[in-house]
């Protein structure tokens, strides 16, 4: 499994929103500048996130975006599924029940199921808040005067 650029950028965008929204909406321009990502690229991602019900949008002078829920309610897995679709390592695991004529005799299916479970459990076990907290521990006391 390889996470696309869109998947990497959506995670960065969601983290940026989690860390910077406060009471206000955050503009894509500000996110793009902080994350060193093209605003046009983020404009392609935002509709996916809006449709998935993860973002709230406000148009106008103080427009922008904000998370609908708190950062501890978003998992990396659910965010990546919006842009990546299934996180299954092989096509035959994208749907339940497995829609493969060889499933009953496939010796490798348990390997792929195990990998899928490990990836899913890992990514669904990490929230935006976990990443923020871990980052604060790593970089929080690293400052210069």
Backbone angles phi, psi at 66, to 5 degrees: -155, 160
DSSP 8-class letter at 57: E
Of the pLDDT bands very low, low, confident and very high (cuts 50, 70, 90), residue 144 is: very low
pLDDT digits (tens, 9 = 90+) for 108-126: 999 999 999 999 999 999 9
Share of the chain above pLDDT 70, in %: 95
Dihedral-angle region of residue 75 (phi above 0 means left; psi in -120 to 50 means alpha; beta otherwise) = beta
Share of the chain above pLDDT 90, in %: 68
Do residues 109 and 52 touch, judged by C-beta distance below 8 A?
no
| Residue 145, pLDDT score | 46
Provide CATH code, domain 5-139: 1.10.10.10
Q: Is the model's pTM score more than 0.85?
A: yes
Q: To which H or E segment does residue 65 belong?
A: strand 64-67
Alpha helices in the chain (DSSP H): 5-20, 28-35, 39-51, 76-84, 109-124, 128-139
Do residues 19 and 35 touch, judged by C-beta distance below 8 A?
no
């Amino acid at each position: 499994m390889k996470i696309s650029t869109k998947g990497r950028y959506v995670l960065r965008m969601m983290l940026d929103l989690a860390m910077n929204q406060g009471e206000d909406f955050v503009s894509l321009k500000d996110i793009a500048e902080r994350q060193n990502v093209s605003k046009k690229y983020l404009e392609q991602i935002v509709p996916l996130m809006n449709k998935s019900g993860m973002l709230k949008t406000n148009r106008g002078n103080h427009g922008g975006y904000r998370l609908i829920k708190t950062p501890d309610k978003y998992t990396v897995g659910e965010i990546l599924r919006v842009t990546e679709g299934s996180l299954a390592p092989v096509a035959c695991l994208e749907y339940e029940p497995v829609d493969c004529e060889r499933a009953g005799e496939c010796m490798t299916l348990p390997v792929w199921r195990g990998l899928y479970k490990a990836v899913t459990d890992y990514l669904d076990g990490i929230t935006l808040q976990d990443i923020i907290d871990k980052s604060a521990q790593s970089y929080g006391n690293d400052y210069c005067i």
